[in-house]
Amino acid sequence: MSTIVKEKDIVIPGDVLAEGMDYLPGDNTYRRGEKIYAKVLGLVSLPGRVIKITPLSGPYVPKVGDKIIGRVTDIAFSGWRVDLETAYQAMLNVKDATSRYIKKEEDLSKIINIDEYIIAQIINVTSQNLIDLSLREPGLQKISGGRIIKINSQKVPRVIGKQGSMITLIKEKTGCEITVGQNGLVWLRGSSDGELLAEQAIKRIEQKSHQDGLTEKMQRYLEGHTQ
């Protein structure tokens, strides 16, 4: 018949979101009988007749096309094993790592060594959550210098902001290069003061991610620290 919750309400697992057949269960919800229930803790969003929940916490779910940051943990016969700080390991195959021809006997550790970080794109995710990565896109590379910080992967959209407004602001005010991986790893490179300020700013966004007008607040915060 109707919805019981409103847009942006905080719901917990098992909360009734709607009754009757007028609404469809979307992401993170399920239907049992006449009612639609919440499956995770999060915020309700109601685009049209579908009820969805945007999680406020929780694990990173790998999706094709996501840009992620990972650490190389092992070198296999024809590629690298990469740790994305999720429950699953990712593979970067030689053919997806570079456009150059690599000879059979070439030492792969000369190209990317163990413990080095890479910015890569997910090109395939299987039903068992095995992940294939690629470096063959502009901007994807091995990371050198700077620092890596970890944030909750559900807060990544807030750190980037609408059309990248937040991340552009931090880049401008701190003079850092910043890459945000969808899995919650962030790479910063700039002057040491700039890196420190950018790291503090990102941690601050992670803490205050629910507040309205966060970009304006962060602008004031960063201006107060750069002068």
Instruction: Name the site residues for other proteins (rule: CB under 8 A).
Output: 10, 12-14, 16, 28, 30, 37, 39-42, 55-59, 61, 86-89, 127-129, 154, 207-210
Q: Which two tokens stand for residue 156?
A: 């990544």
Q: What is the CA radius of gyration of the chain?
A: 21
Q: H or E segment at 178? A: strand 177-180
Q: Taking the complex as a whole, how short is the minimal distance between the CB of residue 38 and other proteins, in angstroms?
A: 9
Between 194 and 206, whose beta carbon lies closer to other proteins? Answer: 206
Q: Taking the complex as a whole, how short is the minimal distance between the CB of residue 57 and other proteins, in angstroms?
A: 4
Residues with Cβ within 8 Å of residue 49, at least 6 apart in sequence: 22, 23, 24
Between 168 and 209, whose beta carbon lies closer to other proteins? Answer: 209
**Among 187, 28, 215, which residue's Cα sits nearest to residue 119?**
187
Q: Taking the complex as a whole, how short is the minimal distance between the CB of residue 61 and other proteins, in angstroms?
A: 7
3-state secondary structure of 63: coil
Between 13 and 145, whose beta carbon lies closer to other proteins? Answer: 13
Q: Taking the complex as a whole, how short is the minimal distance between the CB of residue 128 and other proteins, in angstroms?
A: 5
